[in-house]
């Protein structure tokens, strides 16, 4: 469904992506792991056109993603994104955040969007928080609202950009639980994460990224427990080191 072929991207002379090729099928959960600055987030941002890429192609169901083309809006309604820092709309309640896309982008009727949004908030465990403003919610709750907002677009896939990295440790679990449930429901997910254990349990496949290239990729168990590449082994040793 999502296909990247030899994608290149530079920021002011620094090459962040050096030929990324990957395919993500319908219903697949793919985790992208790797050290900071390896280009993980940039891959996600190229998939929904938040970032332009310099070479190669990104396609969604055969349609080329081009930040400049008018068609990008329709691609973005099909591919939702969940951000590291939530990026909820602070001047709107949780419920209003969730219906914003369906009502104002897709033209749904409010009367239809509201009950659906309430269902989604219930699904992420926030039925009682519909009328709360983001400032009144904890980080974990905000991220779960953001996931509900992404789901409200009825996307083909959701991109998660380090969804738990700015959460207090005790709040990470509630967000991962919601994501795990989504994966079990068959949602196509691309997750940039440092949560190796989550990747191990939930991901179908893991891509290990270093310096803008995919060093290795394959079934989660294989990459995370029997990594072939020395760089991957070293990274996992450091991430998983016992305290």
Partner 1 sequence: MTRYFADAREFVPILLQGVWLTIVVTFASLVLSTLLGMVWALMRVCRVRALQQLAKGIVNAIRGVPIIVQLFYIYFVMPELGVTLTALQASIIGLGIAYSAYQAENFRAGIEAIDKGQVEASESLGMSWGLMMRRVVLPQAVKIILPPYGNIMIMMLKDSSQASTITVAELTLKGQLIAASTFKYTSVLTMVAVLYLVMSVPLILFVGWLERRMQRARS
Q: Which of 90, 128, 186, 219 binds partner 1 (CB under 8 A)?
A: 90
Kindly state whether residue 91 participates in binding partner 1, applying the rule CB under 8 A. yes
Kindly state whether residue 100 participates in binding partner 1, applying the rule CB under 8 A. yes
Kindly state whether residue 95 participates in binding partner 1, applying the rule CB under 8 A. no
**Between 153 and 189, CB nearer to partner 1:** 153
Kindly state whether residue 101 participates in binding partner 1, applying the rule CB under 8 A. yes
Contact 51, 65 (CB under 8 A): no
**Between 149 and 205, CB nearer to partner 1:** 149
**Between 95 and 215, CB nearer to partner 1:** 95
Tokens of residue 192, six digits: 């940039």
Following CA atoms 59, 43, 30, 103 in sequence, which dihedral angle do they give, to the nearest 10 degrees? -70
Contact 21, 7 (CB under 8 A): yes
- β-pair partners for 55: 8
Distance CA 167, CA 150 (A): 19
Which phi and psi angles does 17 have, rounded to 5°?
-120, 125
Site for partner 1 in 165-194 (CB under 8 A): none
Following CA atoms 191, 194, 198, 201 in sequence, which dihedral angle do they give, to the nearest 10 degrees? 90
Spell out the residues 6+ positions from residue 13 whose beta carbon is closer than 8 angstroms to its own: none
Helix H or strand E encompassing 16: strand 14-24
Stretch that binds partner 1, among 97-105, 119-127, 181-189, 211-219 (CB under 8 A): 97-105
**Between 34 and 101, CB nearer to partner 1:** 101
Site for partner 1 in 52-81 (CB under 8 A): 73-77, 80-81
Site for partner 1 in 2-61 (CB under 8 A): 48-50
Residues that bind partner 1 (CB under 8 A): 48-50, 73-77, 80-81, 83, 85-91, 100-101, 104-106, 149, 153
């Amino acid at each position: 469904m999502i296909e990247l072929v030899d994608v290149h991207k530079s920021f002011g002379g620094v090459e962040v992506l050096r030929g990324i090729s990957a395919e993500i099928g319908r219903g697949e959960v793919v985790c992208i792991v790797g050290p900071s600055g390896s280009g993980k987030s940039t891959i996600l941002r190229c998939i929904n056109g938040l970032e332009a890429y310099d070479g190669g192609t990104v396609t969604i169901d055969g349609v080329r993603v081009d930040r400049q083309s008018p068609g990008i809006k329709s691609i973005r309604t099909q591919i939702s994104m969940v951000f590291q820092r939530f990026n909820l709309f602070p001047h709107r309640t949780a419920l209003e955040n969730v219906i914003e896309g369906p009502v104002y982008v897709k033209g749904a009727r409010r009367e239809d969007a509201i009950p659906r949004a309430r269902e989604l908030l219930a699904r992420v465990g926030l039925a009682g928080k519909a009328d709360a403003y983001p400032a009144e919610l904890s980080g974990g709750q905000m991220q779960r609202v953001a996931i509900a907002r992404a789901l409200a677009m009825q996307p083909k896939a959701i991109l998660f950009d380090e969804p738990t990295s700015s959460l207090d440790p005790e709040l990470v679990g509630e967000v991962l639980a919601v994501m795990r449930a989504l994966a079990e429901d068959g949602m196509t997910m691309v997750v940039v994460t440092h949560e190796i254990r989550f990747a191990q349990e939930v991901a179908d496949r893991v891509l290990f990224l270093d310096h803008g290239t995919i060093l290795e990729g394959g079934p989660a168990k294989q990459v995370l427990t029997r990594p072939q590449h020395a760089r991957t082994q070293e990274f996992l040793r450091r991430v998983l080191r016992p305290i």
